[in-house]
A and B are shown apart, each in its own frame.
Chain A
Amino acid sequence: MSATPTADAPARLARFDGTERAVHWVTAVLVLALIATGTVMYVGALSGLVGHRGTVRTIHFWCGIAVPIPLVLGLLAPRRGRSLRADARVLERFDADDRAWLRRRPNAGPGKFNAGQKVNAALLLGSGLVLFGTGLMLRTATSFPVPIRTGATFVHDWFALGLTLLVLGHLALALRDPGALAGMARGTVRPEWAARHHPRWTATAETPATGAPRRPAPGAADPPR
């Protein structure tokens, strides 16, 4: 998977390791299955086209139960989860440059994640947790009083709509950027792409070969702050 550095093709930079990608893709498949089955149950015309409400509901439920598992396992993995945990810490914090980036003001450029990706991650996690909780409430509906159950349905509907839009936006942006796609598909990115989109990360990024010396990509000197 790793490209051999040659004179005319500089070494690709390691962006996401196996754990990060596995967590991403397993979660992606489950989320898409949830969106598909949820949409089928929700949109009347589709309910009619697909039918089999009992089966669709069962698939939706078990995908929902499964969806947090990859992330939790990845975060808990002692050695293999290191990069993922580092990602989580980076995603959580917004510094002055992130705020400037969001407002399109002059800034030092994004680190490993830009502010939009940080916002996306936080919104996904938050709405995912809300959907998980309300989903469980709907499943065990009879143990709650009716107004609470109606409330849970209400929240589940609106958050699902929001999360679907979020995922569609994420997909649209990813599909427009082959460099970013390669990062999540192959795990590595071209140094030029990294320097353009994640300059503050590029300086610390490494080539994928284990033990390779840390070397800045061409043209990725620390930007002035």
Chain B
Amino acid sequence: MSDVADSPDRPDRSDRSGRPVGRRVVLGLLGLGAVGVATGSAVQGWFDDHLGSAVRASGLGSVVPIDRWRYYTVTGSFPDPPRSGFRLRVSGLVDQPLDLTLDELEGLPTVQLTRDFQCVTGWRVPDVHWTGVRLRDLLDRAGVRTEGTALRFTSFDGDYTESLTLEQGLRDDVLVAHRMGNEPISREHGGPVRLVVAPMYGYKSVKWLDGVEVTERVRPGYWEVRGYDVDAWVGRSNGRTDPAT
């Protein structure tokens, strides 16, 4: 538009005079970025140890990149339980299908579990305290038939699914949790009831849990058909080496 034929790359007067500060700023930022990538892990740890509680107290925790929960949902929003009320169903290859209200679930013998929560995307929340029913106890009540070797979990968000082998599901550290940090599990955290598979990455711990189905073989879950490992042991899967939880 202002291409004037007789003015090849005409500079204004500050061109070529002065120092190349712009270039130095750019290179400086690139250097800072590289140092950050190399040391960020350690710096993040220091931040979390020294500033984490102050930031959380200040209410800036959702903005400032300090170690914290990040809430993922694969559907349009954090889902509400169905209007008819929350039910947890245990079905599939069982002798006696279960259909539990929240009250009935909370009435079952509870266990407590305090473990780090590790997400496959890198964040980790230390010492999360869960209260709930062992999945094994629920499966015992329903009576798993001999041909059942795997478990499929569903969420009342309508989309999310997960899987475990039966052997994994019978572990002591797999809970159907209804309390977190001594309070009912909030909606963002997957309440009223979520699965907690403590030794595996967070995507195994289905939020908004509403169904456990005993199946003949493992059917990969939501993220697993999208490239994540089916056996999601913390530190031994997904190419990661995080310390075990």
- Tell me which residues from 35 to 73 in chain A have a Cβ below 8 Å from any Cβ of chain B: 42-45, 47-54
Chain B interface category by residue count: 35 or more
Confirm or deny: A111 has a beta carbon within 8 angstroms of a beta carbon on chain B: yes
Confirm or deny: A25 has a beta carbon within 8 angstroms of a beta carbon on chain B: no
CA A4 to CA B56, docked complex, whole Å:
59
Partner of B65 from the list A123, A143, A157, A201 (CB cut-off 8 Å) is A157
Give the number of chain A interface residues (Cβ < 8 Å): 74
CB pair B19–A126 under 8 Å, yes or no, is no
CA A129 to CA B29, docked complex, whole Å:
9
Q: Given the complex, which residues of A lie within 8 Å of B25, measured CB to CB?
A: 119, 122-123, 126
CB pair B32–A130 under 8 Å, yes or no, is yes
Known pairs A142-B238, A155-B40, A158-B36; A93 contacts B17 (CB<8 A): yes
CB pair B41–A150 under 8 Å, yes or no, is yes
Known pairs A92-B20, A123-B25, A155-B40; A204 contacts B241 (CB<8 A): no
Confirm or deny: A145 has a beta carbon within 8 angstroms of a beta carbon on chain B: yes
CB pair B40–A210 under 8 Å, yes or no, is no
CB pair B12–A146 under 8 Å, yes or no, is no
Interface residues of B (CB under 8 A from A): 1-5, 8-23, 25-30, 32-33, 36-44, 62-65, 69-78, 121-123, 187-188, 226, 238-242
Judged by DSSP, the binding face of A is helix
Confirm or deny: A7 has a beta carbon within 8 angstroms of a beta carbon on chain B: no
CB pair A155–B21 under 8 Å, yes or no, is no
Contact with B along A128-147 (1 / 0, CB 8 A): 01100110010001110111
CB pair A47–B71 under 8 Å, yes or no, is yes
In the complex, what residue of chain B is closest to A130 when comparing beta carbons? B33
- Tell me which residues from 150 to 167 in chain A have a Cβ below 8 Å from any Cβ of chain B: 150-155, 157-159, 161
Other CB < 8 Å A-B pairs besides A126-B28, A154-B43, 12 of them?
A43-B62, A51-B77, A51-B78, A53-B73, A94-B21, A95-B19, A146-B240, A150-B40, A151-B39, A158-B36, A158-B65, A159-B29
